Amino acid sequence: MLFGTLAKKHVKELMYRLKEEDEIGFSKLKEEFQLDKSYLSRLLRELESENLVSRREERENRRMPKSYYAITENGKKVIDLYELEQEIRENK
């Protein structure tokens, strides 16, 4: 469920971070957020299944593929939702 995914810890920060660059590698996100590899992978898969992020794989010399993530148009709308939430909180 979309709102359940959006409410998870680190998702808001991940979405804002993905908005900052065209594309970010999994390793860079793991390093910046200091998250467990499997937890980060699970979060990104959920965001991808909700069509909020897209993933691209790049293979170099038959090694394990490197994954790169980008925010989608729907993901950008989620940023608007987060900003609306902040505005509502400030206007209480």
| Mean model confidence pLDDT for the chain | 93
pLDDT in tens, 33-43: 999 999 999 99
Q: Are 74 and 19 in contact (CB under 8 A)?
A: no
Contact 74, 53 (CB under 8 A): no
Domain count for the chain, please give it. 1
Per-residue pLDDT averaged across 22-33, rounded? 96
Burial of 52 (0-12, 13-18, 19+ CB in 10 A): buried
**pLDDT tier, 2 (very low <50, low <70, confident <90, very high otherwise):** confident
- Please state, in angstroms and rounded to a whole number, the distance separating the CA atoms of residues 75 and 45: 14
Confidence of residue 60 (pLDDT cuts 50, 70, 90): confident
What CATH number should be reported for the domain holding residue 85?
A: 1.10.10.10
- Give which of 78, 54, 57 is closest to 66, Cα–Cα: 57
Average pLDDT over residues 57-80: 90
**How far is Cα 83 from Cα 80, in angstroms, rounded to an integer?**
5
What's the CA gap between 31 and 42, in Å, rounded? 16
For residue 28, the enclosing domain spans 2-91
